[in-house]
Structure 1
């Protein structure tokens, strides 16, 4: 079998900028960015390594400056999120970072959660300035948003945020029975195609380029179709050169040295009795090749411009550590080229421990070669947290336990986090790192690093070799050299010091009002596009701004005509595809031309706090006093000359509680939370102890069948493949309807007023983006057990009458549906879909005649209603409060009085404090059974030392 794969590390060459002072200007720019563009990093210590539905996940978060790893003095708010296996946010917490750079909290893993692999993600707003890119989207997809900027903001993807994946198992059928760990994943209607066995090999020339006529070192990485490392060997060949044996050394990585000609190199491997062939890219005639051995860099430059200056820089976590011009070349000339070679010795002793980035560049700021390498000066080796725990000792039920803990090299009281837990549910994991391995290594690289502790367990030649191979197969840079050398770069976000309400005001668009009689046509994908014109009218410019005109906008105080009087018959309506109902609005709407007043009122526990300000370029920013829990936020915008009758304090606005009325302006909060996440790597969702066959079965069959997955005794029951009925009891996503409407509005998908015609599609676009497709996806709307809405035609043009009659149709009156679809009647939105944003569903079979997602409107029981508003009415989240960990005291209880105790985490203290000699004693009571225990700990001192347990 021959498979051609062209994969090579290519660094983007930025547009050439002018540096009048040559490389000295670049040096000054890098020195400046070492201060102005310091990144922050997060590490989260959790109380356990796996959880069960119904547990509480306790965490301690450490936020540090990237340049010196000392506690941050920048941000004071951290966002911690729990994401589902599908990649949707289950819960987001806003927590205060104290002056020592740490904070703590907890997630309650409620019973309604599906079991599976969940992600813990954490970041500050300042961190969102860096490592951002865009998910693929088409130009016409921006038309669903108010303007292109809102679309671009939605489709942003961040790399390098803190992320950790852990299993959450199903709740035991019998309380406390943790011996069998099961996963009941959510049911789906269609089974994806299985990946065929494959070998994927990616080649990484050292420095980023393969250069003709000079010695190049090339690293490579081999994985199978699931991303699992493949240890292989093969041959490298080219016309005119003998075959060279190449092989992997560790975790599917290896390297070879070759001097390429103008002939293509080809690598051949045998994997599982199949032959694979890979062509390397054609070597370049000019450029730079580098080789780093210990502290010496050999630089080969071929056919470069002699009038340019060339330099070398070394950055560590974004801070400039070394800079020099490149001189002292030894040149060799052939009939076809000029090659210059020089060697530079790096001052390793003055570099920082961690991942360092070596860059070769010219005086125009163009990167010619780039390479990561790791420096370990061992200053953190002694920062160990130890405990007097005998792993073979068994503690008796309810026994009082005292565990002495010692922090090494500590001469003052030190705060650290400590967890002690039952080893009965311990399981092997590829994530065996700690705060030191994470902040120094794993967080500097893209993707998950399996067995990070391996690279620190010894400093011998073998482990250094394995670590260097890891450095060479990285094509991503956490600290972008081109951005760091750009003195004109502006930061979009500033470090947050407190809560704010920020956003923009836009003109209100003239949405077509929903005619109740049209709703029965929605199930066929048909809706009202507008009213037929009685006579010729002047065309309206959809891009124009008429905010100065007295009658340009429907004011909230204007009387809205009764719909039965105005829309007298169906003949006055123009019908068409429901997806085209807003075409008359135009696209890419601009900002306000004239400033307005924006008013905000916050209700916290019966106390009202409010303010009014005039927009600046449509922008507003309110400072919010800190509070815990939730509050109600009301916002509205109006013209300055309407302030007397529109002010909230005046209480003269009679249309406030009328959701059918049009607001004067579209008020949109500035939201920055990431919508996208990454797919799990093989090593994040698998465990070392289990066989390959068992793991693959787990991923393929069980993920689609609603059966039991037992990790210790795998039992996969397959069914005949095909489409299954939707299980209406098990949605993929559930959210409060009003809250979801607000989220859709703040993302620019809804324009300040509920649009019943588009709401089901808006919900799906908010959750799923474009489903990673090049065509639109189909959406059904459902209420009271019936389908009332489709954004597509459920039959083809040539369908027979019998086929048309077979389409399921809602049996409801139009007026009844119209009333139930209002915000005041809706309680929850439940979404059903096979699509998983995390995996982007690349193998899912789709149909143009079936729904890809179903949005179910769940009404308030017993015809209940809730207040609904014309203007923005939002549940505003304050800070989350850390609770106290439950630790029972059995000292005064008799055996008969002692309750059933199934705790797995026996002791959790996020803020343990040592004495001046670094000593601490953890005291607790065992659970209700015989137990062996283990400990994990983490801490960061004020001078940046990383306290860690092994």
Structure 2
């Protein structure tokens, strides 16, 4: 289990404490590693309740009752004990053992692993090839045999695909305004030379001190902060300190902030949902409505659009409400069109009502009178109807 303590300023707060059961037995210690986050192991027992007894930095204490433990269910755990493998461990309660589940692992929108698994006992373990995952956040989901989501866990994979950059100068010390030549060496994760486009920023470290662990870099943004919700304190800390403590703190971050952008069970209900706004397409569109002289909609009317200069000749048929649309037309500026329509009885005694084009925003200029005249001229349609 993982937790995060947040102070009144919204930032992580260091705490300590212990987990006790309903018989007041101490089961685990509470210790924060970074930004108020920590984790502990707990094997709950049916019929018992648990509390977190917390001590704060100012000496105050608080007792919090943990959520009630379910009698049946699954536990999905992910470990990285060795550099080349990811261990996925599935624990099941007695009534769910020997059941069938599905394990799906994703990273950057790509499915890395997907397979049905038959649980062989209280604990079933899977070993995944770590080299199959790109560096970044991986999402592992446990489904039932009926494809219902049961558990989800996200982990951060530190792979060997990071580019290796090295800068070298001819001298260690240079005079003021002296020409400096830099030699840049770029290699891929396997140590082979690679190409790319690079930029360099040079600052005076004595004038602008930099704490690397507190910075937000391109690397930490692309692989970490852009992929999980909320504010992350000192994101670069998890990458500058290559220690077991930093790796454990990073896993605590995954556990406490691992709620994803969507829920699996909403996919089936939204896949056929029409969006409130149509996506912006390429090209231009002209749409409108055909009515009779009595202004009633004229369904199944034939509408033709002609532009000699643009080389366009299109036709369409109105729907039940008399509406029509010519979409995805790539046209130049100041093109004139002619639109003709005939009703279902081939009569030309109809009216064509064109939809208004987009408004032109000229901003807050001093010459409001001229702006009004320009806007009025811009909104005039260069389309005639017959």
Give the TM-score, by structure 2 length: 0.69
Q: Is the 8 A contact 1:264 1:283 kept in 2?
A: yes
- Cα distance in 1 for partners of 2:50, 2:108 equals 35
| Counterpart for residue 358 of structure 1 | 140
Report deviation, 1:437. 3.7
| Counterpart for residue 293 of structure 1 | 79
- Match of 1:640, SS state, is strand
- Match of 1:415, SS state, is coil
Residues 13-162 of structure 1 aligned to structure 2 (within 5 Å): none
How has the CA–CA distance of structure 1 residues 291 and 864 changed in structure 2, closer, same or farther, with 3 Å as cutoff? closer
User: More deviation in 407-416 or 609-618?
Assistant: 609-618
How has the CA–CA distance of structure 1 residues 408 and 311 changed in structure 2, closer, same or farther, with 3 Å as cutoff? closer
- Match of 2:237, SS state, is helix
- Cα distance in 2 for partners of 1:305, 1:549 equals 68
Q: 2:52 aligns with which of 267, 281, 300?
A: 267
Q: 2:327 aligns with which of 588, 601, 621?
A: 621
- Match of 1:313, SS state, is strand
Q: 2:187 aligns with which of 396, 404, 408?
A: 408
Q: 2:341 aligns with which of 640, 645, 657?
A: 640
1:283-334 deviation per Cα after TM superposition (whole angstroms, max 9, x unaligned): 223221123333333322236668963121222222222233222422xxxx
Q: Is the 8 A contact 1:505 1:637 kept in 2?
A: no
| Counterpart for residue 860 of structure 1 | 367
How has the CA–CA distance of structure 1 residues 469 and 391 changed in structure 2, closer, same or farther, with 3 Å as cutoff? farther
* 2:252 corresponds to 1:469: yes
- Cα distance in 2 for partners of 1:308, 1:411 equals 46
| Counterpart for residue 552 of structure 1 | 295
- Cα distance in 1 for partners of 2:373, 2:261 equals 47
| Counterpart for residue 883 of structure 1 | none
- Cα distance in 2 for partners of 1:253, 1:306 equals 33
Report deviation, 1:360. 1.2
Q: 1:386 aligns with which of 167, 170, 176?
A: 167
Q: Is the 8 A contact 1:600 1:633 kept in 2?
A: no
Q: Is the 8 A contact 2:169 2:181 kept in 1?
A: no
Q: Is the 8 A contact 1:234 1:267 kept in 2?
A: yes
Unaligned runs of 5+ in 2: 81-85, 382-386
* 2:5 corresponds to 1:219: no
Q: Is the 8 A contact 1:246 1:256 kept in 2?
A: yes
Q: 1:318 aligns with which of 89, 109, 122?
A: 109
Q: Is the 8 A contact 1:288 1:299 kept in 2?
A: yes
Report deviation, 1:453. 3.2
Which has the bigger relative contact order, CA under 8 A and spacing at least 6?
A: 1
Give the TM-score, by structure 1 length: 0.32
- Cα distance in 2 for partners of 1:611, 1:317 equals 45
| Counterpart for residue 249 of structure 1 | 33
| Counterpart for residue 370 of structure 1 | 152
- Match of 1:466, SS state, is helix
* 2:229 corresponds to 1:446: yes
| Counterpart for residue 348 of structure 1 | 130
Q: Is the 8 A contact 1:386 1:407 kept in 2?
A: no
How has the CA–CA distance of structure 1 residues 437 and 494 changed in structure 2, closer, same or farther, with 3 Å as cutoff? farther
| Counterpart for residue 935 of structure 1 | none
* 2:318 corresponds to 1:664: no
1:312-364 deviation per Cα after TM superposition (whole angstroms, max 9, x unaligned): 1222222222233222422xxxxxxxxx4333333334444332222111121
- Match of 1:467, SS state, is helix
How has the CA–CA distance of structure 1 residues 488 and 306 changed in structure 2, closer, same or farther, with 3 Å as cutoff? farther
Q: Is the 8 A contact 2:153 2:258 kept in 1?
A: no
- Cα distance in 2 for partners of 1:363, 1:320 equals 18
* 2:16 corresponds to 1:233: yes
- Match of 2:164, SS state, is coil
Report deviation, 1:246. 1.0
How has the CA–CA distance of structure 1 residues 309 and 623 changed in structure 2, closer, same or farther, with 3 Å as cutoff? farther
Q: Is the 8 A contact 1:229 1:251 kept in 2?
A: yes
| Counterpart for residue 176 of structure 2 | 395
Residues 595-606 of structure 1 aligned to structure 2 (within 5 Å): none
How has the CA–CA distance of structure 1 residues 402 and 312 changed in structure 2, closer, same or farther, with 3 Å as cutoff? same
1:58-85 deviation per Cα after TM superposition (whole angstroms, max 9, x unaligned): xxxxxxxxxxxxxxxxxxxxxxxxxxxx
- Cα distance in 2 for partners of 1:258, 1:472 equals 15
Report deviation, 1:598. 9.4
Report deviation, 1:220. 0.9
How has the CA–CA distance of structure 1 residues 406 and 298 changed in structure 2, closer, same or farther, with 3 Å as cutoff? closer
Q: 2:66 aligns with which of 280, 293, 311?
A: 280
1:434-462 deviation per Cα after TM superposition (whole angstroms, max 9, x unaligned): 44444433333233444333323354422
- Match of 2:236, SS state, is helix
Larger relative strand fraction: 2
- Cα distance in 2 for partners of 1:262, 1:633 equals 78
Q: Is the 8 A contact 1:598 1:636 kept in 2?
A: no
- Cα distance in 2 for partners of 1:645, 1:738 equals 33
Q: Is the 8 A contact 2:293 2:349 kept in 1?
A: no
Between the two proteins, the alignment pairs up a number of residues equal to 359
How has the CA–CA distance of structure 1 residues 387 and 273 changed in structure 2, closer, same or farther, with 3 Å as cutoff? same
How has the CA–CA distance of structure 1 residues 288 and 455 changed in structure 2, closer, same or farther, with 3 Å as cutoff? same
Report deviation, 1:600. 11
Residues 483-498 of structure 1 aligned to structure 2 (within 5 Å): none
Query: Cα RMSD (Å) of the superposition?
Result: 5.0
Report deviation, 1:465. 1.1
Q: 1:456 aligns with which of 239, 249, 272?
A: 239
- Match of 1:373, SS state, is strand
- Match of 2:125, SS state, is strand
Q: Is the 8 A contact 2:98 2:119 kept in 1?
A: no
Report deviation, 1:224. 2.2
How has the CA–CA distance of structure 1 residues 273 and 461 changed in structure 2, closer, same or farther, with 3 Å as cutoff? closer
Q: Is the 8 A contact 1:598 1:620 kept in 2?
A: no
How has the CA–CA distance of structure 1 residues 363 and 645 changed in structure 2, closer, same or farther, with 3 Å as cutoff? same
- Cα distance in 2 for partners of 1:633, 1:223 equals 60
- Cα distance in 1 for partners of 2:363, 2:192 equals 57
How has the CA–CA distance of structure 1 residues 621 and 345 changed in structure 2, closer, same or farther, with 3 Å as cutoff? same
How has the CA–CA distance of structure 1 residues 403 and 667 changed in structure 2, closer, same or farther, with 3 Å as cutoff? same
| Counterpart for residue 418 of structure 1 | 199
Unaligned runs of 5+ in 1: 1-217, 331-339, 508-546, 554-590, 602-606, 626-630, 647-662, 670-736, 740-825, 829-857, 875-950
